[in-house]
Amino acid sequence: VLFLAYFALQVVYARRKYKISPPETTGRPEFERIFRAQANCSEYFPIFISLLWVAGIFFHQSVAAVCGLLYLYTRFKYFQGYTAAAQGRLGPLYASAWLLWLLLGLAVAGLLAHFVLP
């Protein structure tokens, strides 16, 4: 949640810096990249938190926590890269997508072990 607050504050600061009043979402390219990076991170957060929760409960807490911390780090790097240049988002984007797939696999494995194998 702190990451989402940080990203939202960056949009607020960019609105002030580039003098773009809400509800406008267009303006200078620098603002649009910050706004889009924040929106992208917010869109993926419910998926991340759901997979983290299920993987932590049904697979293993420590493995899910490590994946969760790595995911948060890659999203932070994504935000930083996207605000600097649009191409700067690609490496962290692929890493965060890979971690979401990993969490999905862990969640499915944990659910299968819990409900099918006993």
Q: What percent of the chain has pLDDT over 90?
A: 96
Domains in the chain: ranges and CATH: 1-113 (1.20.120.550)
> In the annotation, is 16 catalytic?
yes
Tokens 């409900």: give the residue.
Answer: 115
Tokens 């702190």: give the residue.
Answer: 2
State pLDDT tens for residues 62-83: 999 999 999 999 999 999 999 9
| Structural contact between residues 30 and 14, judged by C-beta atoms closer than 8 angstroms | yes
> In the annotation, is 89 catalytic?
yes
φ/ψ bin of 74: left (φ > 0), alpha (ψ from -120 to 50), beta (otherwise): alpha
State pLDDT tens for residues 30-63: 999 999 999 999 999 999 999 999 999 999 999 9
What's the half-sphere exposure (Cβ side, CA atoms, 13 Å) at 47? 14
Residue of 15, 33, 75, 89 with catalytic role: 89
**Confidence class of residue 117 from pLDDT cuts 50, 70 and 90?**
confident
Residue of 15, 16, 33, 75 with catalytic role: 16
For 71, list phi and psi in degrees, rounded to 5. Answer: -65, -45
| Structural contact between residues 38 and 10, judged by C-beta atoms closer than 8 angstroms | yes
